[in-house]
């Protein structure tokens, strides 16, 4: 059968299963290829904790298991997945294996500090501000990341995680992105207190300010990828994670939605914006569907 026709049929089959039949099987697989990272961001305490790295054989086994159970969408994360190594294998080999296995879309989440050469279907690059703000959060100059993003021709978007340091710089940063990274959209996440409430955690008033700013930026034509519906759902803490149909796997275990696996104190403050978009899209919200179509 023609490869393009087969792929189209696979998309249709996935759409029926996910949107119409609404089965609870694991449709989305997140794979933590490695815990290792080359940065020490102040908003992350996951990377380099145990420096665990999954082997290629482990990765293949996980892919096969979840594909056989219905997963068709995959994202690769870390640590920093571009640092993943297993003998001769590198991140592009994982992406290739995922496509060969049959996954319809493969996304990579990266800090953008190394050349982006893995050729996934979509790449998310974390840039949480510019200038002193970026250096305070990430510990390196933003230009190191911007240089790699400018050179990258694959489909991609920026992820900006809003916290108490950068929430007042949203519009200014978007205006610079619009000039420096023309054509790129930005998905705004919100700092999630995985390790307990901390100095980066937004108050309710700061959340409202951030969301109001984003909605105003969207109206102004700035490159905000978030849908209006998902931003409002985040603010109201409705229609979002935990996602029963999304699983994440690392070298130590398998978890529903994320590695805190349903901790109510974390879930109520979840800032994983893509999760709100997916949940709303599954309920046929047109704005969320449009946001996902731009990346999926």
Nearest to 290 by CA among 246, 245, 224, 237: 224
DSSP-H helix ranges across the chain: 3-15, 56-68, 91-101, 131-138, 143-151, 170-180, 204-219, 228-236, 264-267, 273-282, 286-293
Q: Which residue from 270, 279, 246, 289 is spatially nearest to 75, judged by alpha carbons?
A: 246
Question: What pTM, to 2 d.p., does this model score?
Answer: 0.94
Query: Which pLDDT belongs to residue 49?
Result: 59
- Nearest to 31, CA basis, from 8, 65, 3: 65
Question: pLDDT class for 2, splitting at 50, 70, 90?
Answer: low
> What distance, in Å, lies between the first and last C-alpha atoms of the chain?
24
Tokens of 218: 């969207």
Whether residue 239 contacts residue 283, with contact meaning beta carbons closer than 8 Å, is answered with yes
Separation of alpha carbons 49 and 61, rounded Å: 24
Q: What is the pLDDT of residues 235-248, one digit of tens each?
A: 998 888 999 999 99
d(CA 75, CA 260): 18
Check the CA dihedral 62-292-189-159 and report its sign.
positive
Provide the strand spans (E) within 65-134: 73-77, 105-110, 122-126
Mean pLDDT of 165-176: 97
Render pLDDT for 192-237 as a digit per residue (tens, 0 to 9): 988 777 899 999 999 999 999 999 999 999 999 999 999 999 999 8
Please give the domain boundaries of the chain with CATH numbers for all domains.
Answer: 25-293 (3.20.20.70)
Check pLDDT > 70 for residue 112.
yes
């Amino acid at each position: 059968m023609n490869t393009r026709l087969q792929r189209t049929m696979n998309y249709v089959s996935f759409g029926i299963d996910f949107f119409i039949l609404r089965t609870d099987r694991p449709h989305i697989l997140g794979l933590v290829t490695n815990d290792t990272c080359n940065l020490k961001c102040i908003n992350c305490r996951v990377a380099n904790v145990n420096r665990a790295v999954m082997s290629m054989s482990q990765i293949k086994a996980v892919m096969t298991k979840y594909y056989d159970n219905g997963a068709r969408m995959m994202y690769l994360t870390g640590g920093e997945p571009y640092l993943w190594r297993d003998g001769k294998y590198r991140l592009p080999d994982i992406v290739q294996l995922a496509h060969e296995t049959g996954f319809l879309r493969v996304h990579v989440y990266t800090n953008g500090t190394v050349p982006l050469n893995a050729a996934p279907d979509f790449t998310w690059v974390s840039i949480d501000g510019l200038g002193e703000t970026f250096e305070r959060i990430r510990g390196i100059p933003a230009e190191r990341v911007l240089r790699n993003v400018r050179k990258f021709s694959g489909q991609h978007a920026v992820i900006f995680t809003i916290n108490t340091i950068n929430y007042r710089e949203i519009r200014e940063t978007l205006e610079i992105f619009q000039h420096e990274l023309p054509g790129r959209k930005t998905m705004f996440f919100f700092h999630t207190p995985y390790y307990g409430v901390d100095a980066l955690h937004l108050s309710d008033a700061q959340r409202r300010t951030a969301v109001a700013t984003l909605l105003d930026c969207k109206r102004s034509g700035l490159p905000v990828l978030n849908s209006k519906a998902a931003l409002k759902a985040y603010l109201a803490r409705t229609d979002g994670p935990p996602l029963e149909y999304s699983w994440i796997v690392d070298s130590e275990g398998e978890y529903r939605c994320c590695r805190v696996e349903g901790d109510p104190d974390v879930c109520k403050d979840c800032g994983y914006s893509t999760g709100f978009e997916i949940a709303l899209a599954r309920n046929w919200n047109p704005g969320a569907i449009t946001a996902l179509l731009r990346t999926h």
